[in-house]
Structure 1
Amino acid sequence: MQVQALLDSIPLSILFLLFVFSAMVISELGYRVGHWWQAKTPEEKEGPTNMIVGSLLGLLAFLLAVTMGMSSDRFDTRRALTLAEANSIGTTYLRAGYLSEPAATQSRLLISEYAPLRVIPANPEPTEIQQGITRSLEIHTELWSIAEELARETPDSPLLALYVESLNETIDLHETRVTAGIYARLPITVFILLLTTFVLTLGMVGYSAGLTGRRSPPTAVVLIVVLGGVISLLVDLDRPAQGLVTVSQQPLIDLLEQINAETVSE
């Protein structure tokens, strides 16, 4: 988790530049080592270096594809859960009107406070997220206490059963969304494996060029920039609320507008 937190603290643009700069240094070092080795052992043949480089590039492409699929699936899950939670909160707010007074008004006021907590701002601070989760759990307890008291008074009420069902779904979706956003991240070992393959592949590309004494700097730069861009995108997709690619909070924002409009009309 500490490595993940360190990675999250680095801005995406800085991360991309670090990738590109490090890759260029590694490629240049590989070239110089290859050139030095060829000059030291001119009688030796090149061997299957080109085949090994091709295999490493294929392996890197495979790892990038697999990792991109994992990141995309997690991103889609977070987006789907945001919509599902907005629908569930909206249903719970509406069904709270089934309750007798003063429970109906108390529940709707609590839900009106709860809904804004579920909107994730752009680039939030960790403490801000934790405070929102803590208050959300407190509101769960208050809403459930109200529902429990009503259930003891009218245990056979079908309308109360509908409200409890939607409230239970809202509570469950909260935990599911927190898990998907905070804990269901790409394993750091996957990033380490990807970066290790990235380093070794570029080093071998430079080494192979050094053995032959021929290289194309523009081609190497384009390859490094493209690979750096793809890896930066993977990191961006894995960040729940940071970077350029974030989950839209519009479903929850629309819900807030509806709740506020109904509150004003009352």
Structure 2
Amino acid sequence: MAFLAGIAEQSIVAFGALLLVAQLVAHRIGVFMGRREKARATTQMEGVGVVVGGMLALMAFVLALTLSFANTRFSERRTGTLAEANAIGTAWLRAKAVGTPRAEAIATLLEQYTKVRADFVTAGLDTARINALNQKTSALQSTIWGHVAAIVREQPNPVSASLMAAINDTFDMSTAERLAMETRLPPQLFWLLILMTLLSTASVGYQLGLRGRSKPLLVVLLMFMWTVVIVDILDLAAPRLGNFRTSAAPYEWTIQGFSGGVVIPPAP
């Protein structure tokens, strides 16, 4: 899987092309075996049709299963960014409401923290950069929590408790988003999908070889459709590959909200 993952990292289109070629090879092998069996006249066509139909039905089930898994992972990442950005915004507003020097320091640190979290989501495949951003996140969390602890000790009241809860939720959301960004398609499910694809194309070729009929256009169209679906599944399931990337827009909106500050109007 590492080899295929390397190809996918370079180009998701190249991975799709390789998969399409592999299906064509499997299909031609199936056609060759089917024609050889036809020459021997040892295979009943009715039984072959039932088996091929069952394999295609199972293939459809596996595609649906993996597509559902990939879409769920993509939704988790997208929802996670929104939840974390909202949590950061809530913590920032509460820090601004407290208004003490330490609370203002917390608000400033949260503004830096938001930029770091946005960079983490859009970091791509650069492992060194991802590790550096995780370390920076941990350092900011430690500093922010130090200020929160000082506020709670100096002013043990519901206001400081509310700020502490908001900061705690912010840190929890970052952990959840990190897990979502690390979750990928399990290798067993990936190889099951690839194996079922190759076996299904080979079985279709075998049946066509037995019948002595060639449907190259329809076969290529079927393989192309399978390839597109599989590439989309891989794209959805991989957090840092392809075109279905998690957007950092919620963080950018939160940063825009910071620019307005908090203006306390005069008492009526």
Relative to the length of structure 1, the TM-score reads 0.91
Task: Evaluate the alpha carbon distance shift between residue 126 and residue 4 of structure 1 in structure 2; reply closer, same or farther with a 3 A threshold.
Answer: farther
Instruction: Please say if residues 98 and 160 of structure 1, whose CA atoms lie closer than 8 Å, have aligned partners that are also in contact.
Output: no
Unaligned runs of 5+ residues in structure 1 are: none
* Alignment correspondent of 1:212: 211
Note the alpha carbon deviations across 1:153-192, whole angstroms, 9 max, x for none. Answer: 122x21111110110000000001101111x322110111
Shift, 1:237, TM fit: 0.3
Shift, 1:247, TM fit: 2.1
**How many residues end up aligned between the 2 structures?**
260
Instruction: Please say if residues 79 and 248 of structure 1, whose CA atoms lie closer than 8 Å, have aligned partners that are also in contact.
Output: yes
Task: Evaluate the alpha carbon distance shift between residue 109 and residue 2 of structure 1 in structure 2; reply closer, same or farther with a 3 A threshold.
Answer: farther
Shift, 1:2, TM fit: 5.3
Instruction: Please say if residues 63 and 193 of structure 2, whose CA atoms lie closer than 8 Å, have aligned partners that are also in contact.
Output: yes
Unaligned runs of 5+ residues in structure 2 are: 263-268
Shift, 1:74, TM fit: 1.3
Note the alpha carbon deviations across 1:191-223, whole angstroms, 9 max, x for none. Answer: 111111111111111111111211200000000
CA distance in 2, matches of 1:118, 1:237: 21
Q: Does 1:175 align with 2:171?
A: no
* Alignment correspondent of 1:129: 130
Instruction: Please say if residues 35 and 210 of structure 1, whose CA atoms lie closer than 8 Å, have aligned partners that are also in contact.
Output: yes
Percent identity of equivalent pairs: 28
Q: Does 1:20 align with 2:12?
A: no
* Alignment correspondent of 2:105: 106
- Corresponding letter in the other structure for 1:262: G
CA distance in 2, matches of 1:47, 1:29: 21
Instruction: Please say if residues 8 and 14 of structure 2, whose CA atoms lie closer than 8 Å, have aligned partners that are also in contact.
Output: no
Task: Evaluate the alpha carbon distance shift between residue 9 and residue 167 of structure 1 in structure 2; reply closer, same or farther with a 3 A threshold.
Answer: same
Shift, 1:243, TM fit: 1.2
Task: Evaluate the alpha carbon distance shift between residue 188 and residue 127 of structure 1 in structure 2; reply closer, same or farther with a 3 A threshold.
Answer: same
Instruction: Please say if residues 8 and 239 of structure 1, whose CA atoms lie closer than 8 Å, have aligned partners that are also in contact.
Output: no
Task: Evaluate the alpha carbon distance shift between residue 69 and residue 138 of structure 1 in structure 2; reply closer, same or farther with a 3 A threshold.
Answer: same
Q: Does 1:142 align with 2:149?
A: no
* Alignment correspondent of 2:266: none
Shift, 1:246, TM fit: 1.9
Note the alpha carbon deviations across 1:14-38, whole angstroms, 9 max, x for none. Answer: 1111111111111011111211232
Instruction: Please say if residues 123 and 243 of structure 1, whose CA atoms lie closer than 8 Å, have aligned partners that are also in contact.
Output: no
Note the alpha carbon deviations across 1:98-149, whole angstroms, 9 max, x for none. Answer: 4453202221221111001111226352222221111111111111111111
* Alignment correspondent of 2:95: 96
CA distance in 1, matches of 2:60, 2:96: 55
More displaced stretch, 239-248 vs 135-144: 239-248
More displaced stretch, 122-131 vs 85-94: 122-131
* Alignment correspondent of 1:226: 225
More displaced stretch, 80-89 vs 91-100: 91-100
- Corresponding letter in the other structure for 1:113: Q
Task: Evaluate the alpha carbon distance shift between residue 190 and residue 50 of structure 1 in structure 2; reply closer, same or farther with a 3 A threshold.
Answer: same
- Secondary structure of 1:86's aligned partner: helix
Q: Considering only aligned residues, what root-mean-square deviation do their CA atoms show, in Å?
A: 2.0
Instruction: Please say if residues 76 and 180 of structure 2, whose CA atoms lie closer than 8 Å, have aligned partners that are also in contact.
Output: yes
CA distance in 2, matches of 1:8, 1:143: 39
CA distance in 2, matches of 1:160, 1:89: 16
- Secondary structure of 2:234's aligned partner: helix
- Secondary structure of 2:242's aligned partner: coil
